[in-house]
Structure 1
Amino acid sequence: MKKLIGVLAILSCAIPSVYAIDSNAKNQSLLPLKRMTVGPYDNFQATVDENEKFLYYTRSENLSSQIMRLDLSTGLTQSITPRDADARTPALSPDGKVLAINYFKNDAKGDICLLRDEEIECITKKGVVDHSPVWLGNSRLAYISSDDSGRQSQLMVYDMGKKSSEALFKGELYAPDLSPDGKTLVFKGKRNELVLYDLGARKINRTLNVELPGLTGPSRFSADGKYLYFAQYMLDSNRDLTIDGRDAAAIYRYDISNSNVAAPIQITSLDQNCSFPYPSKQFLYMTCAFEGALDIYRGPLSGTVPQTWVQTDLDEAHMVARSYSDRILFLNHIHNRFFQLSDGEYEERVMQNFVYANEILPAKFYLDSILNRSPGRADLKAFSILFDAYSRWEVLPQKKNLGAFAEFIRTKRQELSKLPKSPETALTDAYLDHFANQSSAAEKKLPALRLEDDLSLYLSARLARLVFKERYPKFLVDNVLKVDATEQNRLYYLSLWLAELKPGKDPTAEVNALKPLLKEPMTDLLQNEITLHQITKIQDIEQKILKKQAVVALVEKYKTNYFALRLLINRSIVVLYQGKKSRDMADIVSLWISYIKRDSKEYPYAIEAMRQNFVDLAYQFMNAKTDDKKFAVGSFYDSIRTSDDLESHYQFVTLNQANWNEFIKSYRTMISQGLIAQETWAFIHVIRDTILSGKKLEADDYAEAAVKIEGISDTHLGTGMKYLLLGYLYHKQLQFTYEGFKYDKSLAEKTHKAYLFAMDGALQNDRIQASALQNLAILHLEIRNYTLASEFLQQRHTIAYTSAEEEQTMAWLKAKAMYLSNRSADAYETLRIALSKNPQPVEPFHEKAAFYAWNAGNFEAAESHFKQLPAASLTNAVRLGYGYTLFMQNRGPELLATLDPLLNSIPPNTDIKKADAPALTVQPLKQRFLALGLIAQSKTIDGNRKAKALEERLALFETIKSHAKMLHFQAENLSDQKIKELQDLVQIRLMQGDQGKASKVLADSLTEADAHGKEYGYLSNTLISALKNAWMLSVNVPLNKEQNANLANKVDQEFFTQKAFSPLVTQKWAEMKLIQAVYFDKNFEKGSSDLFKTSAMESLKVEKPDIYSLVSRYRDEVQKDVAVK
Structure 2
Amino acid sequence: MKKLIGVLAILSLTISSAQAADATVKSQSLLPLKRMTVGPYDNFQATVDENETFLYYTRSENLSSQIMRLDLATGLTQSITPRDADARTPALSPDGKVLAINYFKNDAKGDICLLRDEKIDCITNKGMVDHSPVWLGNSRLAYITSDDSGRLSQLMVYDLGKKSGEAIFKGELYAPDLSPDGKTLVFKGKRNELVLYDLGARKIIRTLNVELPGLTGPSRFSADGKYLYFAQYMLDSNRDLTIDGRDAAAIYRYDVSNSNVAAPIQITSLDQNCSFPYPSKQFLYMTCAFEGALDIYRGPLSGTVPQTWVQADLDEAHMVARSYSDRILLLNHIHNRFFQLTDVEYEERVMQNFVYANEILPAKFYLDSILNRTPARADLKAFSILFDAYSRWEVLPQKKNLGAFAEFIRSKRQELSKLPKSPETALTDAYLDHFANQSTAAETKLPALQLHDDLSLYLSARLARLVFKERYPKFLVDHVLKVDATEQNRLYYLSLWLAELKPGKDPTAEVNALKPLLKEPMTDLLQNEITLYNITQIEERAKNRDNKRSVVALVEKYKPNYFALRLLINRSIVVLYQGKKSKDMADIVSLWISYIKRDSKEFPYAVEAMRQNFVDLAYQFMNAKNADKNFAIGAFYDSIRTSDDLESHYQFVTLNQANWNEFIAQYRTMIAQGIVAQESWTFIHVVRDIILSTKKLDADDYAEAAGKIEGISDTHLGTGMKYLLLGYLYHKQLQFTYEGFKYDKSLAEKTHKAYLFAMDGALQNDRIQASALQNLAILHLEIRNYTLASEFLQQRHTIAYTSPEEEQAMAWLKAKAMYLSNRSGDAYETLRVALTKNPQPAEPFHEKAAFYAWNAGNFEAAENHFKQLPAASLTNPVRLGYGYTLFMQKRGPELLATLDPLLSSIPPKTEIKSADAPALTIQPLKQRFLALGLIAQGQGIPVDRKAKALEERIALYDTIKNNAKTLHYQAENLSDQKIKELQDLVQVRLMQGDQTKAAKVLAESLTAADAHGKEYGYLSNTLLSALKNAWLLSVNVPLNKEQNTKLVNKVDQEFFTQKAFSPLVTQKWAEMKLIQAVFLDKNFEKGSSDLFKTSAMESLKVEKPDIYSLVSRYRDEVQKDVTVK
Residues 604-643 of structure 1: per-residue CA shift (max 9 Å, x gap): 1111110000000000111446642221000000000000
Report the equivalent of 1:108: 108
CA 1:94–1:400: 2 relative to 1, 3 Å: farther
Give the direction of change, closer, same or farther, for the CA distance of 1:139–1:398 in structure 2 (3 Å limit).
farther
Give the Cα separation in 2 of the matches to 1:343 and 1:300.
28
Q: Deviation string for 1:631-668 (max 9, x for gaps)?
A: 10000000000000000000000000000000000000
CA contact (8 A) 1:3 1:809 kept: no
Deviation at 1:63? Answer: 0.6
Q: Distance in 1 between matches of 2:105 and 2:399?
A: 38
Separation of aligned partners in 2, 1:626 and 1:479: 54
2:914 aligned partner: 914
In the alignment, the residues of structure 2 paired with residue 458 and residue 626 of structure 1 have an alpha-carbon distance, to the nearest angstrom, of: 52
Shift of 1:18: 5.7
CA RMSD across the alignment: 1.1
Q: How far apart in 2 are the matches of 1:652 and 1:718? A: 14
User: Alpha-carbon deviation of 1:8?
Assistant: 4.2
CA gap 1:1067/1:15 in 2 versus in 1, 3 angstroms: farther
CA positional deviation for 1:259 = 2.3
Residue deviations 1:190-238, cap 9 Å, x none?
Answer: 1201000000000000111100000000100000000000000000000
- 1:536 CA drift (Å): 1.1
Is the CA contact 2:401–2:436 (under 8 Å) kept in the aligned structure 1?
A: no
* 1:486 corresponds to 2:483: no
Any idea what SS the aligned residue of 2:877 has? helix
SS in 2 for 1:337: helix
Tell whether 2:85 aligns with 1:85.
yes
Change (3 A) 1:1080 1:24: farther
Q: CA deviation at 1:15?
A: 4.6
> Whole-Å Cα distance in 2 between the matches of residues 521 and 400 of structure 1?
43
CA–CA distance in structure 1, aligned partners of residues 1107 and 583 of structure 2: 81
Q: Aligned with 1:1069: secondary structure?
A: helix
Contact 2:506/2:530 (8 A) holds in 1: yes
Counting only pairs closer than 5 Å after superposition, residues 473-622 of structure 1 correspond to structure 2 as 473-622=473-622
1:11: Cα distance to partner? 1.9
Question: What are the superposed Cα offsets for residues 168-194 of structure 1, whole Å, 9 maximum, x if unpaired?
Answer: 100000110000000000000012010
Question: Distance between the aligned counterparts of 1:914 and 1:506, measured in 2?
Answer: 73
Which secondary structure does the structure 2 equivalent of 1:907 belong to? coil
Aligned-pair distance for 1:864? 0.7
Structure 1 residues 922, 857: CA separation in 2 closer, same or farther (over 3 Å shift)?
Answer: same
Looking at structure 2, the residues matched to 840 and 631 of structure 1 have their Cα atoms a distance apart, in angstroms, of: 32
Q: CA deviation at 1:340?
A: 0.5
C-alpha distance in 2 between matches for 1:750 and 1:391: 45
How far off its partner does 1:401 sit? 8.8
Residue 290 of structure 1 is matched in structure 2 by 290
Cα shift readout 1:1002-1035 (whole Å, capped 9, x = no counterpart): 0110000000000000000100000000111111
State the Cα distance separating 1:22 from its structure 2 match: 3.5
Assess if the C-alpha contact under 8 Å between 1:636 and 1:652 holds in 2: yes
Residue pair 1:8, 1:775 contacting (<8 A) in 2 also: no
CA-to-partner distance for each residue in 1:561-582, whole Å, 9 max, x for gaps? 1111111111111111111111
Shift, 1:454, TM fit? 0.4
Partner residue, 2:221: 221
Instruction: Tell me how far apart the structure 2 counterparts of residues 739 and 908 of structure 1 sit (CA, whole Å).
Output: 34
Q: Deviations over 1:126-162 (max 9, x none)?
A: 1110000000000000000011111110101111011
Shift of 1:919: 2.8
Is the partner of 1:7 in helix, strand or coil? helix
Matched, 1:36 2:36: yes
Say if 1:4 and 1:806, in contact at 8 Å, map to a contact too.
no
**Is the contact made by 2:21 and 2:716 (CA closer than 8 Å) also made in structure 1?**
no
Question: Contact (CA 8 Å) 1:172, 1:190: kept in 2 or not?
Answer: yes
**C-alpha deviations, 1:783-826, integer Å up to 9, x for none?**
01111000000000000011111111101110110111111111
Q: CA deviation at 1:320?
A: 0.5
1:804 aligns with 2:804: yes
Cα offset for 1:914? 2.5
Change (3 A) 1:18 1:967: closer
CA shift for structure 1 position 16 = 3.5
TM-superposed CA distance for 1:908, in Å, is: 1.2
Q: Flag the 1:24–1:121 CA change in 2: closer, same or farther, 3 A.
A: farther
Cα distance in 1 for residues equivalent to 2:18 and 2:415 = 47
Worse-matched range after superposition: 525-534 or 452-461: 525-534
Shift, 1:905, TM fit: 1.2
Cα separation, partners in 2 of 1:434 and 1:690, compared to 1, 3 Å: same
Segments of 5+ residues of structure 2 without an aligned counterpart are none
**Are 2:15 and 2:612, in contact at CA under 8 Å, matched by a contact in 1?**
no
Q: Which sits farther off after the overlay, 908-917 or 358-367?
A: 908-917
For 2:860 and 2:414, locate their aligned partners in 1 and report how far apart those are by CA, in whole Å: 64
Q: 1:351 to 1:483 in 2, by over 3 A?
A: same
Deviation at 1:852, TM superposition (A): 0.6
Aligned mates of 1:173, 1:24 — CA distance in 2: 46
Deviation at 1:542, TM superposition (A): 3.7
| DSSP-derived class of the 1:177 partner | strand
Closer, same or farther in 2 for the Cα pair 1:4/1:74, shift >3 Å? closer
Shift of 1:989: 1.1
Q: Deviation digits for residues 858-880 of structure 1, max 9, x if unmatched?
A: 11111111111111111111111
Q: Cα deviation per residue 1:693-719 (whole Å; 9 max; x = unaligned)? A: 111001001000000000000000000
In 2 relative to 1, CA 314–776 (structure 1 residues): closer, same or farther, beyond 3 Å? same
Q: CA deviation at 1:3?
A: 4.4
Q: Supply the distance in 1 between the matched residues of 2:518 and 2:8 (Cα, whole angstroms).
A: 54
Q: CA offset at residue 590 of structure 1?
A: 1.0
Structure-2 separation of matches of 1:706 and 1:2:
24
The CA distance in 2 between the partners of 1:1106 and 1:33, in whole Å, is 60
CA shift, 1:12, in A, is: 1.7
**1:1060 maps onto 2:1033 in alignment:** no
TM superposition score normalised by structure 1: 0.99
Could you tell which deviates more after superposition, 953-962 or 53-62?
953-962
- The alpha carbon displacement at 1:469 in A equals 0.6
- State the alpha-carbon separation in 2 of the partners of residues 977 and 401 from structure 1: 65
Structure 1 gaps of 5+ residues are: none
1:98-130 per-residue CA deviation (whole Å, 9 max, x = no partner) reads: 000001111111110100011001111111100
CA contact (8 A) 2:6 2:724 kept: no
* CA–CA distance in structure 2, aligned partners of residues 542 and 679 of structure 1: 41
Question: Given that residues 8 and 728 in structure 1 are in contact (C-alpha distance below 8 angstroms), is that contact kept between their aligned partners in structure 2?
Answer: no
The answer on whether the counterparts of 2:727 and 2:755 sit within 8 Å (CA) in structure 1 is yes
1:24 counterpart SS class = helix
Residues of 1 paired with 2:652 and 2:624: CA distance?
16
Change (3 A) 1:400 1:99: farther
Shift of 1:918: 3.1
1 CA distance for matches of 2:488 and 2:916?
76
TM-score scaled by structure 2? 0.99
Could you tell me whether the CA contact under 8 Å between 2:4 and 2:775 is conserved in 1?
Answer: no
Q: 1:669 to 1:15 in 2, by over 3 A?
A: closer
8 Å CA contact retained: 2:25, 2:604: yes
Q: Which moved more, 1:858-867 or 1:9-18?
A: 9-18
By how many angstroms is 1:906 displaced? Answer: 1.3
**Most deviating of 253-262 and 889-898:** 253-262
The 8 Å contact of residues 355 and 363 in structure 2, kept in 1 or not, is answered as yes
Q: Is the 8 A contact 1:439 1:467 kept in 2?
A: yes
Contact 1:23/1:32 (8 A) holds in 2: no
Query: In the aligned structure 1, how far is the partner of 2:398 from the partner of 2:1050?
Result: 67
Q: Deviations over 1:471-490 (max 9, x none)?
A: 00000000000001111100
Superposed counterparts of 1:261-410, under 5 Å? 261-397=261-397, 402-410=402-410
Q: Using a 3 Å threshold, how does the CA distance of structure 1 residues 794 and 180 change in structure 2: closer, same or farther?
A: same
Secondary structure of 2:21 counterpart? coil
Rounded Cα–Cα distance in structure 2 between residues aligned with 1:13 and 1:404: 48
Identity rate, percent: 90
Aligned to 2:67: 67
C-alpha displacement of 1:1121: 1.2
Q: 1:147 to 1:923 in 2, by over 3 A?
A: same
Residue 4 of structure 1 deviates from its aligned partner by 8.2
Q: Relative to structure 1, is the Cα distance of residues 191 and 1117 closer, same or farther in structure 2, using a 3 angstrom cutoff?
A: same
How many Å separate the matches in 1 of 2:840 and 2:453?
Answer: 62
Per-residue CA deviation, residues 454-497 of structure 1 (Å, 9 max, x unaligned), is 00000000000111011000000000000011111001000000
Shift of 1:7: 6.7
